[in-house]
Amino acid sequence: MASRLIVIGGVAAGMSAAAKARRTDRDLEIIAYEKGSFISYAACGMPYWLAGDIPDHEKLIVRSPEQMRKQGIQVQVRHEVTAIEADTRTVTVKDLENENTFTQGYDRLVLGTGARPAWPPLGSTGLPGVFGLRSLESGLALQQFIRENSPQKAVIVGGGYIAIEMAETFRRLGLDATMMVRSGKILRSTLDDDMRELVEAELARYGVRVITGTLTSLEGDDQVVAAASAHERVPCDLVLMGMGARPNVELAKAAGATLGPTGAIATDAYMRTNLPDVYAAGDCCEVLNLVTGKPAYIPLGSTANKQGRVAGENAAGGQARFGSVVGTMVVRCFNLVVASTGLTAARASAAGFKVQETMVRAKDISHYFPGASDIHVKLVVDGSRDRLLGGQIVGSRGVAKRIDVLATALYNRMSITELRQLDLSYAPPFAPVWDPILVAANVAAKE
Ligand code: FAD
């Protein structure tokens, strides 16, 4: 009899795992359970779809359950796995359509249960007009609310990259937008203060107000009318919780899976948990940060897809490995592109490195070429060992390609001496003869 693989979760990690397992072992029986109504969609595209760049949410869906079935993967949507019994290798599943509960045995199991938006411990967060943005269902609910209620003022609680993307979306939809940020620092873990100022100025230029404060109450009876911190009450008719993501680990924890220091599921490089033949991938897991050598929680779609693939291959008998991450991100903020990789100077100092910071402003393409504009590059270097620890780039063009150069340099533990010697592409419409990365590396080498 063929072995059976059960996958829990139907988005990036779960569906990557199922598809790779199918390609690795043609005979494997594969069943995936997803408690929501949609599978295999690009959550990352939702801010742009909500803004109207992408006309239809269906465009975000990569594969339907029917298409997965044609590949020999049975996908059961609206089915929630409520328990895992590792000793008997069974899962308990609840069919959310009819409330029926049944058990299903497995030989291998992949956990791709993902994450959920962080939610403040307030009683009033269930008020109409208060949203989180995670699943496609949550995106559809937000879109429906905007269409039916034409809100005028949005408060975005939090200052991470999704909060910034949604501030832009709300402004483009004609709403006032206020970001309420506990520390007052947007992109706190990915930007240093000097680079953050550039992004704050862009938000201000486009009418987004950033206020410092912890959300203490949401006011309203049958609809949210204000969000308040200890210092300020902001009238609004729409609130978006953008306070980051928390890993969905309760199911795994109850089954005996070990959680790491970050609170997410701990795995080895083969994406194995401590439970026999149980793998985990994506936003429910922690990762190894290559720069610090320590576990970190950096939930990103890029990582979820890779980890899912490794978990799926191994669950089907393979020996693939997932290495580590350097924490590379890029986000659009109106006319700026903001990117970061590795450690900020603040985080590098906190991690015990002797930090040297270099920030340069250069032109993104040859200065005489029409449209040349400023690009800011910051390098964070281990002052005692000449090793690159991180980089941040803010500009309007060529930011993503350059942060990927720095991410590659970090991955290869390059020194500043080596970074200076990189043979980067040059032609006037694309880059100056001295690429801003090389300019920054040259300055860092002299400091
Ligand atoms: P999830 O997407 O959370 O999926 C987990 C699934 O498991 C869910 O559908 C859930 O319903 C299901 N599930 C959970 N528990 C159970 C259970 N017990 N039984 C059955 N099903 C269960 N990342 C980037 O790299 N770049 C970006 O630009 C980017 N932009 C983003 C923008 C937005 C608005 C959002 C919300 C996310 C963005 N991300 C981005 C993050 C990216 O979407 C996630 O990292 C990725 O979706 C993680 O995939 P996952 O499969 O691990 O988890």
Pocket of ligand 1 contains residue 247 by CB under 6 Å:
no
Average pLDDT over residues 342-346: 98
Give the residue, by CA position, lying nearest to ligand 1 atom 38: 44
Q: What is the DSSP letter of 259?
A: B
On whether both 252 and 340 belong to a single domain, the answer is no
What are the DSSP calls for 368-385, one per residue? TSTT--EEEEEEEEETTT
User: In the structure, what pLDDT confidence band is assigned to residue 124 with cuts at 50, 70 and 90?
Assistant: confident
Range of the domain at 217: 119-243
Please report whether residue 329 resides in a domain: no
pLDDT in tens, 35-64: 999 999 999 999 999 999 999 999 999 999
CB-CB contact of 330 with 336 (8 Å): no
pLDDT in tens, 357-367: 999 999 999 99
Pocket of ligand 1 contains residue 248 by CB under 6 Å:
yes
Report how far apart the first and last C-alpha atoms of the chain are (Å, whole number): 66
List residues with catalytic annotation. 44
Please report whether residue 321 resides in a domain: no
Question: Which of the listed residues 193, 220, 243 is the one where a domain comes to its end?
Answer: 243
Query: Distance between CA atoms of 120 and 118, rounded to whole angstroms?
Result: 7
Question: Which of the listed residues 217, 243, 269 is the one where a domain comes to its end?
Answer: 243
Give the pair of three-digit tokens for residue 404: 């990927």
- Hey, which of 15, 20, 35, 40 would you mutate to test ligand 1's pocket, going by the most ligand atoms within 8 Å of its Cβ? 35
Give the pair of three-digit tokens for residue 401: 């390609």
On whether both 262 and 347 belong to a single domain, the answer is no
Question: Is residue 184 scored above 80 in pLDDT?
Answer: yes
On whether both 81 and 224 belong to a single domain, the answer is no
Give the residue, by CA position, lying nearest to ligand 1 atom 5: 114
- Cβ neighbour number for residue 137 with a 10 Å cutoff: 11
Pocket of ligand 1 contains residue 10 by CB under 6 Å:
yes
pLDDT at res. 114: 98
Distance 11 CA to ligand 1 centre (A): 6
- Mean model confidence pLDDT for the chain: 97
3-state secondary structure of 249: coil
On whether both 355 and 415 belong to a single domain, the answer is yes
Please report whether residue 320 resides in a domain: no
pLDDT at res. 198: 98
Pocket of ligand 1 contains residue 325 by CB under 6 Å:
no
On whether both 106 and 253 belong to a single domain, the answer is yes
Pocket of ligand 1 contains residue 304 by CB under 6 Å:
yes
Distance 13 CA to ligand 1 centre (A): 8
Residue 441 vs residues 340, 412, 415, 417, 445: alpha-carbon distances, Å: 16, 16, 10, 8, 6
Pocket of ligand 1 contains residue 84 by CB under 6 Å:
no
Which of these, 362, 418, 367, lies nearest to 388 by C-alpha position?
418
Q: What is the DSSP letter of 238?
A: E
Pocket of ligand 1 contains residue 194 by CB under 6 Å:
no
On whether both 56 and 133 belong to a single domain, the answer is no
Pocket of ligand 1 contains residue 133 by CB under 6 Å:
yes
What are the DSSP calls for 266-310, one per residue? P--TT-B-SSTTEEE-GGGB-EEETTTTEEE----HHHHHHHHHH
On whether both 17 and 86 belong to a single domain, the answer is yes
On whether both 346 and 434 belong to a single domain, the answer is yes
On whether both 141 and 206 belong to a single domain, the answer is yes
On whether both 110 and 24 belong to a single domain, the answer is yes
pLDDT at res. 144: 98
- Hey, which of 11, 96, 243 would you mutate to test ligand 1's pocket, going by the most ligand atoms within 8 Å of its Cβ? 11
pLDDT at res. 91: 98
Please report whether residue 226 resides in a domain: yes
Question: Which of the listed residues 220, 243, 266 is the one where a domain comes to its end?
Answer: 243
Least confident of 64-78, 116-130, 219-233, 241-255: 116-130
pLDDT at res. 447: 79
pLDDT at res. 249: 98
Give how many domains the chain has, as a whole number.
3
Q: What is the DSSP letter of 125?
A: G
Give the pair of three-digit tokens for residue 263: 């609170």
Please report whether residue 177 resides in a domain: yes
Distance 427 CA to ligand 1 centre (A): 39
On whether both 266 and 365 belong to a single domain, the answer is no
- Hey, which of 7, 34, 136 would you mutate to test ligand 1's pocket, going by the most ligand atoms within 8 Å of its Cβ? 34
Please report whether residue 328 resides in a domain: no
Average pLDDT over residues 18-26: 98
> What number does the ligand 1 atom closest to the CA of 80 have?
19
pLDDT in tens, 140-159: 999 999 999 999 999 999 99
Please report whether residue 258 resides in a domain: yes
3-state secondary structure of 212: strand
CB-CB contact of 308 with 15 (8 Å): yes
Which of these, 171, 119, 154, 307, lies nearest to 224 by C-alpha position?
154
Pocket of ligand 1 contains residue 265 by CB under 6 Å:
no
Q: What CATH code is carried by the domain that includes residue 357?
A: 3.50.50.60
Q: What is the DSSP letter of 191?
A: -
On whether both 283 and 388 belong to a single domain, the answer is no
Distance 136 CA to ligand 1 centre (A): 10
Average pLDDT over residues 19-45: 97
User: In the structure, what pLDDT confidence band is assigned to residue 168 with cuts at 50, 70 and 90?
Assistant: very high
Give the residue, by CA position, lying nearest to ligand 1 atom 50: 114
Please report whether residue 367 resides in a domain: yes
pLDDT at res. 2: 81
Average pLDDT over residues 273-287: 98
CB-CB contact of 215 with 229 (8 Å): yes
Average pLDDT over residues 149-173: 98
Pocket of ligand 1 contains residue 301 by CB under 6 Å:
yes
Pocket of ligand 1 contains residue 117 by CB under 6 Å:
no
Give the residue, by CA position, lying nearest to ligand 1 atom 7: 9
> What number does the ligand 1 atom closest to the CA of 116 have?
3
CB-CB contact of 118 with 243 (8 Å): yes
β-bridge mates for residue 336, sequence order: 333
Which of these, 332, 336, 260, 334, lies nearest to 298 by C-alpha position?
260
Distance 304 CA to ligand 1 centre (A): 8
